[in-house]
Every structure is written in structure tokens, then in C-alpha cells.
A and B are shown apart, each in its own frame.
Chain A
Amino acid sequence: MNLPSYFLADLPPEAELTAGLITEACQTLKRNGQQFLEGRATEGIIRVLDRLGRDWLAADFPFRQTVLREGPAAMGFSAEVLAAGLDQFFQQWTAENFEALLRQELGHVQRLDDFLHNDHESHLARSAMALGPRLLAHIAPGNVPAPALMEMALGLLARSAQFVKCASGQSLVPRMFAHSLYEADHKLGACLEVAAWPGGAESLESALFAEADCIVATGSDETLAAIRRKLPAATRFIGHGERVSFGYVTREALEGKADAVVERAAADVTAWNQRGCLSPHVIYVEDSGGGGGEEFAKLLAEKLEALEKIHPRGTLSAGDAAAIATRRAFYEVRAAHSPETKMWASRESTAWTVILENDPRFQISCQNRFIYVKTVPDLTQALQGAELVREHTSTVGLACLPAQTSELARRLARWGAKRICPLGRMQHPPLGWRHDGRPPLGDLVTWIDWEKR
């Protein structure tokens, strides 16, 4: 599709970005924000988001088609993986869900439009209004596209002009989304900029940081620390650091229903090819030596093999494939040497790999459908094994009997998990989920209190 070069990310690769260009873009964004966003009502913005949600789900929507066509080469996801990821994500984009998000975060749908009060505030003759940052800058992650899109929706609700900085070569989805927004509403589109450059490009980032009021960044802990050091003191910073997730399956959940649980586990391993911070690296399976863990791993391998035929992973870079090949080589030797380790792997491809171990120590997977199944006698052992990643754990996907859920959820919450969900839903959080346990919109806004007497 022929798109106008409306965003910096539309420029041909040989066009060089300069600090001057970034500064100019930021100043234009702020002017446009003042002109086009300040007077907009929440209701109208939700209408646009709701429409975009439906558009992006439509098979003939040109921007979706472009992503499905160009995405496999640009991002290493198959078109099937991209389509499934977009579907799961945009199904959440309904007016009802956005209104619920606003109520959850700010207590009232119109908090960003005007001073409002609840009953208690009314009694005290108080009211309050929330305002978003004037210019919000995103340092978007390069692994999966959904978080950047969600941040953009939050920025729109907050009436912030937004600059989205993508990882080099990973601007396709944010760029197509920006064009779809521009087409849906020119004025809102004029308050958005999308650009891509390699992280750490000093002069470009300094120019961006000097103009933005708030930075939302995703990256390694070192990247976040480096960004934080460069920010002016008054600039707000929201950092999403490295996070890992795992699954937990009780022995009761497997009784007579192993196939259904395995199907859910496979859904989590294949969603966004396991690249997101919500995807499991490890699935702990309760097993006291009865062989349930091995049976689970074997069924999971069969399921992943079957899925590869209808929902293929896609082509990896040589480096990503080499990471899988070298890791497999290591486990092949270990499995040959010790009966405690077993490996199942796709033949003549790196499409999927299942490693079974009875050592509960958490392992970082090389992703792209490389999953560890670890047998443990109980949750206590699993959590001891995951102790090293306790501070970095985001989601735990649970497969258990309904009667077991509350107790397990409470224990996981006290241990440090930030999100607990059913296995099979790990990569598909609801719209209002709290990233890193923080209020997604609440963290962006500033409150203005008005005491009337």
C-alpha cells in the first residue's frame, strides 16, 4: 500500500535522523496537541479507539493486511502468529472496556474532561480533575508490538501528544497503527509521531528527552538506568524493566484433562512466539515421581508439532536460530548422559523444543517456542526454584481445580507475582491490566484538586 511519508518512520532507511529533526517534531507535536487534543472529549476519543479496534479485526482492513504481508520478514513472526496476536489484542478495544479502564483508573469516565466529584468529595465541596502529560515519549520494546499500541491508546485517553521511538527495524506495527489513526481522525493523527533508531543514539535521545514531559520506557534494567540518568529532573519516568513469567500446573488439573491443559500451555508458548515478558519460560508441573510431568511434556511436544502445521512459528534470523541450536546441543548431551533430562524437538528445524527436567531452578528460555517443563512436588519447591527471578516475575499462568485457585493465587501474590491468570491466557491480559503492578493510566496523569470552600 502506498502511504504518504507522514511519520519519521516512513522515511526511507537512508534518510538520516538528526537531533534538529527530533526537536522540531516534538515542538510540532506539542503545538498540535494544544490545538487538537485539549478540547477533545473522552467520549469522542473512545469512539475513535473503538472504531480502530473493529477496523483492525477486519480481514480486509488495509493496514492489517500490510502488517500481515510485511510483518513476517520484518519481525520474524509468521502471518498466522501476527493475525492471532492482533485479534487477541484488538478484541479488547471496545468502548465498554475503555470506559471500564477509565473508571478503574480515575474513578469516573470523564475525569480527564472536567472537575468531578464523588459523593464523599461532594460532601467536602471538593472535586478533582486529571490531566495527562503534554508530550509523552515512548521508548517501545522491540520484541512484541502489543505493548506499544496499548501505550499509544493510553496516551490518547490522557490527551497527550506522543512520540513513539521504536527499536531499529521494529516500527512496522506502530507505524501502521499511526497511519490508521491518522485516517480515522486526522487531528488525532497529527498529535502522534513514530520514529525508529538504534537504542542509545545519544544526540537523538537527548533531543527527545529535553522536550518530553513524561517518558515511558521498556528495556533492560541497564537501558532504563541509562535513560533515567539522562532525563531532566522534572521529567517523569515510567520504566518497565525485564520481566519473566511461568506456568504452574497442579496434578489434580491433569487428572483426566491433560489434553485440555496441554492445549492451553501450547497456546501460551505459541502466542507471539513466546517473545513477550508475559510468555512462560518454564511450566512447572506437579509430579512426585508418577510420570505426570513427562507425560505432560510429551503431549506438549505433540501439540507444538501439530500447531506448527496450522500456526507456524515463522522464519528466525540466523542468530536467533543459532541460540536455539546451541541450547539444544547442550541439552542433547545432558539428556544422553542423564535420565533426568529429556528433550523433544522439531526435526530439521528449530520450530519448537520441549526440555523436561526435574531440577526446579528457573531457566530463561531462548524463546521462539523453546519451553522448559520442570517437575516439582509442590508450589513451595517451584517458588524456591524461581527465587532468583522473584523480583522480575510478571505473570503466573495457573492450571488447577477451581477449589485450588484462591489459595494458590494468594500464595503467588505474597511471593511476588504481579499477575495471575489461567494458563492459556498469559499473553492476553485484559485492557485494564496493571503492567508491573502499577495503574496504567493512573501513573500517567497528574491530579488537580479543587477545594471550593
Chain B
Amino acid sequence: MSRSLAPENPAGEEEFNRLALALFAFQCGAVPVYRALCESRKAAPDTIRHWSEIPPLPTSAFKEYEVSSIPDGERTRVFHSSGTTGQIPSRHFHSGESLSIYEASLLPWFVRHFFATQPPPMKLVFLTPETAPHSSLVHMFTTVRRHFGTPHSAFAGRAAYDGSWSLDLEQTLAAVREAVGENEPLGLLGTAFSFVGLLDYMQSVGKRFALPKGSRIMETGGYKGRTRTLPKAQLRLMLAKFLGTAPVDVVGEYGMSELSSQAYDSAAGIFHFPPWARARVISPETGAEAGEGETGLLRVFDLANIGSIMAVQTEDLAVRRGGGFELLGRAAAAEPRGCSLQART
């Protein structure tokens, strides 16, 4: 169901370029830290002709600086990146207006990938807490629930006082059991780590189900700082084994607090952003665009990132595959950490 990120017609590409350059000109003027970077690179709105030349701001800058054109008084929300304890998170400020753009960006691409075979509404169970003001993922889920969930949709995650999340395993399994009993499709959405927790639990108590036809699973994100990790292919095999899902029933999402659009993958594991965002894979060695099948760092140009910076350099390693990309995981953290010894003797 996903479609290539390559422009479908020259007009689309032209339109993207026009909007990207206009946004660049605006952000270059409105966000001081970005202006400083552009000046040091001698990149100015009147010298850049193509969106791919727009200087990207690294995600690490969202940790050290206020990357926002939204005036202080209009900032109603801030999304933080998840990470290990002790790390400074990225901060992405939003206003009422930028949040509505965020939602307008999220909904159509989500529908297209999540409800590929079964139209909404659907009973949705989210494996995160319902209230987590700084989580862009939870904001996405509450938005999705509001638009596409049946009244019985629920959040099965809990937030502890220290901010860590846990999953109510019994509540999740009860929802699964009920869906199987009523033969009603169920949507399960959560982080890869929460699915690993659920599957480990199902294995330990010897429970297996076959979710009704039309059921969907969305897994997202890595395992930052977690002890138990599972390669994507293995996670999908486990989901098939314990929840009876076929590969096409599971969709992977790639999103981050620094962006306003999300990419989704196909059964082949190739991610695509919506037409208003473009991804490029950049060779870390040369800084040039990586060739087909080559590993590099993912750079995203997201037109929905109006209030912050459109061109974002991530720390995620990816491989270019046609018009999309395959995710490999996180490169070593950019920001220096004086006290954590990463060097190996």
C-alpha cells in the first residue's frame, strides 16, 4: 500500500521545492541557532536553489538549544525525546497551530498504512500510558484514538512516578481474548519494547492467540537504553507465533519528537514518508547522498515542521532502498557525555 517517495510527477517535486525553500527562508530568519549554522555554512535563501542543499540541523541541537520560531507565550506543548536516564532530551516546542499541523500530517499517512485492509473505526489498544504530556508518541495515539478508535479503545500502559512506562499485561491480554471471543478485529499499537514485554509474558504463561482477521499491529521505535532488544524480523516472527499475525498485519512506524511527520514500512521493511516529507540517506564518510543499498545517516526534510526546523539530520543509520529506506538503528550518540565511558580499552 505504501508508495514511493520519489516524486510522482514533476509538478509535485516543484511544489515541494517551492515550499521547502520558502520554509527555509522563514526558519533561517526566525530561529537564531539555525541562522548561526546557515551563516557559518554560507547558506542563505538567495544562494540555495534546491531543497536537498538546505543545511540540516542535527537532532542533538534540539537538546542544547531552543529550536523554535514559536514565541515563548504561544508554546503550549513541548515534546521530549525518549532516552536513557541522565541524558538531556530533545525538546520540540508546539503551539495550538503547530499541533494542528502535526495532526493534519499524521492522520492521512497513518490511515493509509494502518487501515490498509480494514477501514476504521477499530478497537484500538495502545501499549503506552494515556497521559504523558511530553511524549509525541502518546499525543499521536490520543489523536488516532479520537479519530479512528471505537469507544472501547484503551491505553494499557502506566507511567510511574519516575516517568518510566510499564504495561498492564493482563489488561492487554483481556482485550486480545475479548477480540478473539467476539471475532472483532483489534488494533495493537506500541513501542517494539512493549511488544517484547508482552510476548515474553505470553511465552512465560504459555498463552497464544490468533487475532481475528483484519487485526493490525503497529510497532515503533527502538530500545534506547533497554536491556532486552529483539531484531525486527524476530519480533515479527514472535508476533506471528503468539498473536497469529501475518507479516502484512504488522506495520512499523518511524517517528521522532523532532519531526511532525512519520514514515511507515511495508512487509519488506522499507519505510516511506508522506509526500510532504523527503528522506535522504547520507554517507557519514563523505556527506554526499549514499548510493542504493549503501548505509548512511538518515536526513529528513519535513514540511510539517513549520515551527521548528524542516531539515533535520538524525542519528539513525539507514540503507537506501529505491524511494524508501531500511532502518538499521541508532549511531553512537552525538552529544558528548563526560562521565559515561564509551571507549573500549
Question: In terms of DSSP, what is the predominant structure of the interface of chain A?
Answer: mixed
Selected contact of A392 from candidates B285, B315, B332, B341, CB within 8 Å: B341
Which residues of the partner chain B approach A365 to less than 8 Å between Cβ atoms?
343
Cβ-defined contact, A333 with B58, below 8 A: yes
A388 and B317 contacting across the interface, CB-CB below 8 Å: no
Interface centre among A241, A281, A366 (most CB of B within 10 A): A366
Does chain A have a CB within 8 A of B313? yes
Chain A, residue nearest B57 (CB)? A333
When distances are taken between beta carbons in the complex, the residues of chain B under 8 Å from A366 are 332
Number of residues from A at the complex interface, CB < 8 A = 47
Q: How far, in whole Å, are A268 and B260 apart by their CA atoms in the complex?
A: 45
Instruction: Tell me which of B57, B61, B287, B341 contacts A325 (CB under 8 A).
Output: B287
Interface residues of B in 14-68 (CB under 8 A from A): 33, 36-37, 39-41, 57-58, 60-61, 64-65
Chain A residues, CB < 8 A from B345 = 141, 143, 218-219, 240-243, 276-277, 394
Contact A388 B338 (CB under 8 A): yes
Roughly how many angstroms separate A310 CA and B340 CA in the complex, as a whole number? 34
Query: Across the interface, do B33 and A337 meet the contact criterion of CB distance under 8 Å?
Result: yes
Q: Which B residues from 253 to 308 make CB contacts under 8 A with A?
A: 282-288, 294-297
A333 touches B284 (CB 8 A): no
Q: Are B339 and A219 closer than 8 Å at their CB atoms?
A: no
Roughly how many angstroms separate A327 CA and B59 CA in the complex, as a whole number? 11
Contact across chains for A333 and B65 when beta carbons are under 8 A apart: yes
CB interface residues, A 327-367, toward B, < 8 Å: 327, 329-330, 332-337, 348-350, 361-367
- In the complex where A242-B344, A318-B295 touch, is A330 in contact with B334 (Cβ < 8 A)? yes
Q: Is the CB of A336 within 8 A of B40?
A: yes
A244 — which chain B residues lie within 8 A by C-beta? Answer: 341, 343
Say whether B344 contacts A143, CB under 8 Å: yes
Is A316's CB within 8 Å of the partner chain B? yes
Complex contacts, A219 vs chain B, CB 8 Å: 344-345
Q: Is the CB of B297 within 8 A of A325?
A: yes
Cβ contact within 8 Å between A322 and B343:
no
Q: Which of A280-339 contact B (CB under 8 A)?
A: 281, 316, 318-319, 321-327, 329-330, 332-337
What's the least CB distance linking B225 to chain A, in Å? Answer: 14
Q: Which residues of B contact A337 (CB under 8 A)?
A: 33, 36-37, 65
Partner of A333, one of B37, B283, B288, B344: B37
Q: Roughly how many angstroms separate A325 CA and B288 CA in the complex, as a whole number?
A: 12
Is B331 part of the contact surface with A, judged by Cβ < 8 Å?
Answer: yes
Q: Mark B176-189, 1 if CB is under 8 A from A, else 0.
A: 00000000000000
Do A335 and B40 touch (CB < 8 A)? yes
Contact of A364 with B58 at beta-carbon distance under 8 Å, contacts A329-B313, A337-B65 already known:
no
How close is A217's CB to chain B, nearest CB, in angstroms?
Answer: 11
With A318-B296, A332-B40 already in contact, the answer to whether A326 and B331 are too (CB < 8 A) is: yes
CA distance A288 to B282 in the complex (A): 40
Contact between chains at A336 and B344 (CB < 8 Å): no
Q: Could you tell me if B332 and A323 are in contact, using CB atoms closer than 8 angstroms?
A: yes
Decide yes or no whether A220 CB sits under 8 A from chain B: yes
Tell whether, in the assembled complex, residue A316 and residue B285 are in contact, meaning their CB atoms are under 8 Å apart: yes
Give A319 to B297 CA distance when docked, in angstroms: 9
Cβ of B286 and Cβ of A363 under 8 Å apart?
Answer: no
Q: Which of A241-264 contact B (CB under 8 A)?
A: 241-244
Whether B342 is near chain A, meaning CB under 8 Å from some CB there, is yes
Does chain A have a CB within 8 A of B228?
no
A362 to B338, Cβ gap below 8 A?
yes
Q: Give the docked Cα–Cα distance between A142 and B58 (Å).
A: 30
Q: How far is the CA of A197 from the CA of B5 in the complex (A)?
A: 41
* Per-position 1/0 for B312-345, Cβ under 8 A of A: 0101010000000000000111111111111111
A319 and B65 in contact, given A325-B297, A364-B340 (Cβ under 8 angstroms): no
Flag if B297 contacts A364 (CB, 8 Å). no
B332 in contact with A333 (CB, 8 Å) = no
Please state if B285 and A350 are interface contacts (CB–CB under 8 Å). yes
Most chain B beta carbons < 10 A, residue from A240, A348, A350, A364:
A364
Which residues of A lie under 8 Å from residue B287 when comparing CB positions? 325, 348
Known: A322-B284, A323-B332, A325-B287. A330 touches B342 (CB 8 A): no
A350 vs B283: C-alpha distance in the bound complex, in angstroms? 11
List chain B residues, Cβ under 8 A from A326: 58, 60, 284, 297, 313, 315, 331-334
Q: What 7 A-B pairs come out closest when comparing CB atoms? A: A277-B345, A322-B331, A326-B334, A329-B58, A325-B284, A323-B332, A336-B40
A–B complex contacts, Cβ < 8 Å, 18 sampled:
A142-B344, A240-B345, A277-B345, A318-B296, A323-B331, A323-B332, A325-B282, A326-B284, A326-B331, A329-B334, A335-B40, A336-B37, A337-B36, A348-B287, A350-B285, A362-B338, A364-B343, A388-B338
Given contacts A323-B332, A326-B60, A332-B40, 9 further A-B contacts (CB under 8 A): A141-B345, A142-B344, A319-B317, A325-B285, A329-B60, A337-B37, A362-B338, A367-B343, A392-B341
